[in-house]
Structure 1
Amino acid sequence: MDPFSSEGELLTPHTSLYQGQYSSVLDFDTNSLSPTNRTAAQILKYRAQIALGQSSAVLSSLSASAASSPDLTSVRALALYTSDKKTEALSALESLVEKEGENGTVQVLCGTVLALAERYEDALSLLSKHQGSLEAVLLTTQIHLATNRLDLAQREVTAAKKWAQDNLLVNLAEAWVGLRQGGSLLSSTSYYIYSELASTPSSSSASSLLAQGITELHLQRYDEASASLAQSLSPSSDLTPSIKSDALAASVVLSLCTGKGTGEAWGELQQQQSEHVMVRDIEEKGKAFDEAAGKWRAKVAAA
């Protein structure tokens, strides 16, 4: 039995991982699982630790066992990359991808590393080998959206819905597409999915509150967006560095939309997450503007 299928015994921790309930994944009792599923559950726990910014702890745990299986080697590659050992991580996955490219864990985790490194074509090539993996579908959709290929993202989701209509991962992919496309999909799909996750005690997390806040921001429901974003930033065991930085970025946008300037969120984002895509993008545009302005000043002075 596929441990990640809707009939598998790992449904709860796997679902919790994608709901952003990382503490629930770490607390999951694996004693009653079969040896195969116990290993799969441990990989989920490693992934939860990585999401929580505990990559160094994962690397320490894997130091002796990472070479024993392609699954654990791919976990190590992700942990290396997220602990800022990017060159080592990419080097570690090269031979792994070549030899074990049919392995589902390798596809998703090494595909994640390649996507983080913006090697999108390599990531898509690896993910295309999947055999019915919804995680691969989700990551593929994310890459298409990151590269502004909304048409391909929509196609990926439409195809997945034919064989996994009500699965959480398909719903999340559909919500992402709705956010990008806007219009009726934004309110009928994205908002519905995220509000359900955020309002249900068993699935609510900093991640689902952030998603709900961003959706409300798109819908120009600024008071509701402010409340959701504030909740997502409240101290909790599931507030990861990534979620925090994205919540701060959304708060900056919210402040600008409501005429309050960038607010304190911008300074905090610059200080704590200097590599965040918003910070890098604004810095790059600022430099480009200064260069262009400098050329005009030179011409005016010469005249």
Structure 2
Amino acid sequence: MDSDSLFYLKNQFYLGNFKYLSDNPLPAQSEPSYLSTLCYTVRSRIALKDYSGALSLLPPSNTSEPVRALRALVNYLQAAPGQKDSALEELRDLCLEVEEDGADSETEEGAGAGLVKVVAATAFVNENELEEALTTLGAGCKSRDIECVALIVHIYLSIARTDLAKKEYDAAKKWADDSLLIQMIEATIGLTVGSSTLQTARYIYDEQASAPGSSTNPSILTAKGISQILLGKFSDADNSLNEALAIDATYGEALEAKAVVAELRGRKLDAETAFSRLTSADHPLARDLEEKSSAFDAAAAKFAVSSAA
């Protein structure tokens, strides 16, 4: 595989085209691009929750830190509650190893120290250990790994610290201005902050939605639809989301955005239909709705309607 092909795979990963990458054949192990391609493919299968498929690609004989980190992440995700500690400790140990080897050295693009840190921090975020995740990624230390920066920004946005997210983005833009991922970071901040930055986000998603490979990528089409919702372009948003759902009728993010735009357009039945199609109990919105419904029922049960005049 040549460098242009690997560059394309990397960008498809950044755009969330995980199904394409999951099915992409690996090069021979003797090829220089093997480890990077393997890591993008395994991470795509993890994103699709195909954990057994991810493990099947990881050679038992490969003891490189990125492969060990990915294996530990899969083991963590598959472990029952209360049985995840060993995988978490292994990820912590691997982070120490890459620090000792040289924190920001990359033996191969997409398969070096930065990947180990991102993989470990992903598990820490899942444990709600945000402080540990940020420390692992080098928040506030001007990290030179763009994936570390992207996850730092994501964490800050999730806790409503847009000021810190912008600070990380501004620092990274000085050395990664030509990176696709820096554009995606800018667009994500734009969606969160709103106002004039929404137009920038929409332009970025418009451009990427028309790029090669995006016609089969529900992720970027959904992002485009969300930017259109926030700009009040409900009809355009509906079209973008329908395109995404035509590719994958069960794509959760598109279904929830579809429900939102239907509600905003006064189409209550369409909104209820979209919500009802969020059948996966693992989807964050489905869990959130179930938790809030249970909380409401519990609160309502404490009160009785009085029949007194």
Q: Aligning the two structures, in what range does the TM-score lie when normalised by the shorter sequence?
A: 0.7 to 0.9
SS at match of 2:304: helix
Aligned partners of 1:81 and 1:89 also within 8 Å: yes
Aligned partners of 2:225 and 2:241 also within 8 Å: yes
Structure 2 residue ranges without an equivalent (≥5): 100-112
Q: What one-letter code is carried by the residue in structure 2 that aligns with 1:60?
A: S
Match of 1:30 among 27, 30, 34: 27
Whether 1:69 aligns to 2:53 is no
Q: What one-letter code is carried by the residue in structure 1 that aligns with 2:257?
A: A
Aligned partners of 2:42 and 2:57 also within 8 Å: no
Q: What one-letter code is carried by the residue in structure 2 that aligns with 1:127?
A: L
Q: What one-letter code is carried by the residue in structure 1 that aligns with 2:86?
A: S
Whether 1:91 aligns to 2:89 is no
Q: What one-letter code is carried by the residue in structure 2 that aligns with 1:111?
A: A
Taking a change above 3 Å as real, the CA distance of residues 127 and 94 of structure 1, as seen in their structure-2 partners, is same
Whether 1:108 aligns to 2:118 is yes
Q: Distance in 1 between matches of 2:116 and 2:253?
A: 27
Question: How far off its partner does 1:190 sit?
Answer: 0.6
Higher RCO structure (Cα 8 Å, ≥6 apart): 1
Aligned partners of 1:74 and 1:93 also within 8 Å: no
TM-score in terms of structure 2 length: 0.81
Q: How many residues align?
A: 286
Q: What one-letter code is carried by the residue in structure 2 that aligns with 1:287?
A: S
In structure 1, the partner of 2:181 is: 169
Taking a change above 3 Å as real, the CA distance of residues 202 and 14 of structure 1, as seen in their structure-2 partners, is same
Question: How far off its partner does 1:47 sit?
Answer: 1.3
SS at match of 1:132: coil
Decide which moves more: 161-170 or 274-283.
274-283
Q: How do residues 172-251 of structure 1 correspond to structure 2 at under 5 angstroms?
A: 172-187=184-199, 189-204=200-215, 205-235=217-247, 244-251=251-258
SS at match of 2:289: helix
More helix per residue: 1
Question: How far off its partner does 1:27 sit?
Answer: 2.8
Q: Distance in 2 between matches of 1:228 and 1:50?
A: 26
Match of 2:266 among 218, 242, 259: 259
Match of 1:139 among 138, 148, 151: 151
Residue deviations 1:75-94 (CA, integer Å, cap 9, x gap): 11332344465655552131
Structure 1 residue ranges without an equivalent (≥5): 1-6
Taking a change above 3 Å as real, the CA distance of residues 209 and 83 of structure 1, as seen in their structure-2 partners, is farther
TM-score in terms of structure 1 length: 0.83
| Cα RMSD for the two superposed structures | 2.8
Decide which moves more: 89-98 or 251-260.
89-98
Q: Among all aligned residue pairs of Structure 1 and Structure 2, give the percentage whose two residues are the same amino acid.
A: 35
In structure 1, the partner of 2:73 is: 78
SS at match of 1:10: helix
In structure 2, the partner of 1:118 is: 128
Q: Distance in 2 between matches of 1:220 and 1:198?
A: 19
Question: How far off its partner does 1:59 sit?
Answer: 1.7
Q: What one-letter code is carried by the residue in structure 2 that aligns with 1:59?
A: L
Structure 1 stretches of 4+ with a deviation exceeding 6 A read none
